[in-house]
Every structure is written in C-alpha cells, then in structure tokens.
A and B are shown apart, each in its own frame.
Chain A
Amino acid sequence: MSVLEFCRWVQYSAPLVAMRQSPWLFPVIATIHLMGLSLIGGAVLVVDLRLLGLGLHRQPVAGLAHDAERWLLRGLVVTMSTGILLFMCFATKYYYLTFFWVKMAALLLVIAFTLSVHRRVAMANEADVSPVLCKLVALVSLSLWTIVAVGGRYIGFP
C-alpha cells in the first residue's frame, strides 16, 4: 500500500466519514490543537529565553528545563493526538501539500534535538557550557519550532 493509498483509506474509513458528518467536531479538535500549541510555546520559551540570557536570567537553566519539560511533553501529547485526528479528516489534502511534509520533518527534527542536544546543554552544569553554545542551541530550537508552527498554519489555509 502506497502512502497515498493509505491516506485515502484513512480518510474514507467509516469512523472518519462519520466524523466529517459533524459540522463542529473538526473546529473543536482544531481549537484544542491551538491550546496545545500555546502550551508548547510557553514551555519552550521559558527555557530558550533563559538560554539566550533573557527571561528568568537569575535562575539556573537546569531547574527551569526540568520544570518546563513536563509541560512541553503535555503540550506535545495534546497537539500530536489532536493533530493525528485533524490529519485523518483530510489526509489526501495534506498528502499533496509540500508544507505538510516540511512541518512533519521539522517536528521530528525538533523533538529529536530537544530530547538530545538541547536537553544535555540545558541540564548541564552551567560552568561547563559556553554561553555561545547555549545561545546557538536556543536559536536552533526556536527556528525549528517556528517552521513547525508556520507550516501548521499554512496547511490550514483554504
């Protein structure tokens, strides 16, 4: 089964056809998706602003990163579960949108980056990490998240 066939199969499966019958289910799921986006935005900004020397500049990065991570993961659970539902509603539309694949690639990249390099730098002893590296890591993180968000808005346009 090709990816396109899979998208077609998902979109026209009985539960999804039934879901699209409802005029308000898609907007409600999209709303929850946006709330998840806000949560991710807050959790990411607390840590990345701090890495840039802004925001809570008098707090150790490790403590903030530890506290924010739990809310970042919650935000990811909310956006990814609602995102999968939104995708399934119109899977074949998204299949043909380059920006959808760009968003997915950036999302995978930013999750991998956040859980590896970003996490190690943020949780490390501050004396052992150069400020330049901290800023670089924050900028990479913010750039990737911006691509994910812009891609998300773009694929929703009519």
Chain B
Amino acid sequence: MDLFRFFEWLGNTSWSIALHESRYVFLLVLMIHVLTLSVFVGTATMIDLRLLGKTMTRVPVSQVVTRLLPWSEAGFLVMVVTGTLLFYAAPVARYENVFFRLKMAALLIAVINVWVFRRTIYRRVGDWDLDPVPPRRVRMVGALSLILLAIIITAGRMMAYQDYWFG
C-alpha cells in the first residue's frame, strides 16, 4: 500500500475526523505545539550559541550540554506528540504540503547533526570544554543547528499558506 492511500485511510478514521472538526481541541494542540518552540528551540539555541562562543563563555560546554539538553529534548518530545496529532488531524493535506516535507527534511538533518556531534567531536569535549570559543568544527555544528532550526520554524509557519499561495 502506498503512503498516499495509507494517509487517505488514516484521515478517514473517526478520531482523525473528530480532531479535524473539533475547533477547540485542535486549536489547543496547535497552541501547545507553537508555544513549546520557546522550550525546544529556546534551549537548543542557547546550547548552539555556547558552541559558537557567543554566550556563557565561562561555563564549560559539557555543563551547558548536560544541563540544558534534557530540557530541549523534553520540549522536542512535546513537539513530536502534538505534531503527530496535528498530522493525524489532516494526513493527506500535510503529506501533500511542500513546506511540511521541507520541515521534515530539515528536522531529520537537525537530528542527524546532533547525533553525529555527540558520537564524534563531543566524545573529546575534555580537550575544548573550557574554551570560551570552541574549535571550528564545533562552531560549525552550532551554526548548522541554528540554520536548521530557522528553516524548521519558517517551513512550519509557511505550511498554513500553501493553499493561499499555490492553491
């Protein structure tokens, strides 16, 4: 079964229709999804700025990562749960939305970026933990992360306008 047919079936399940047609529950989920940006992207941004040597330069990088990343991950979890519900409310419309696809691609690269960072350069964090401005490769990770987060926010906001612009 191809994805389109699957999402078509998913969109016709009673819970999907109920969520799609419920004005208040849908808007509540949307509100939580948008406002959790401040936790997920907010804390991730502060970590990235530390990797770039732009803030908290007297705090060891490892401390910033171990103490703030769990908050970013918690925010991410809320984003994924509410995001899945928003997708479930209109699977075909999301699947066919070009900005949704761009957002998912950027999200995937952002997750890979963090994953690779933790398994490579970050393994030797002891070598540059106290550097006010970390080495070039570390700064590249922070910069890439910030760019991807900006793309995710932009694509997420633009999703609402696809029909208006291209419909």
Contact = CB atoms under 8 A, between A and B. Distances in A.
Please classify the interface of chain B as helix (H, G, I), strand (E, B), loop, or mixed, using the class held by over half of its residues. helix
A43 B150 CA distance: 17
A43 B64 CA distance: 13
B44 to A, nearest CB: 8
Given A38-B38, A55-B71, A63-B58, A71 B158 contact: no
B137 interface: no
A64 B37 contact: no
Contacts of B46: 42-43, 45-46, 68, 71
Contacts of A154: 31
Interface residues of A, number: 36
Interface string B138-159: 0000000000011001100110
A35 B39 CA distance: 12
Contacts, number: 102
Interface in A19-64: 23-24, 27, 30-31, 34-35, 37-46, 49, 55-59, 63-64
A27 B63 contact: no
B68 interface: yes
B43 A27 contact: no
Contacts of B57: 67
Given A27-B161, A67-B55, A41 B41 contact: yes
Contacts of A49: 71
Nearest to B161: A27
A34 B153 contact: yes
B27 A41 contact: no
A27 B157 contact: yes
B38 to A, nearest CB: 3
Interface of B: 27, 30-31, 34-35, 37-39, 41-46, 49, 55-59, 63-64, 67-68, 71, 149-150, 153-154, 157-158, 160-161, 164-165
Given A27-B158, A67-B56, 11 more contacts: A31-B157, A31-B158, A34-B37, A37-B38, A38-B38, A41-B41, A42-B38, A42-B45, A45-B71, A70-B55, A154-B31
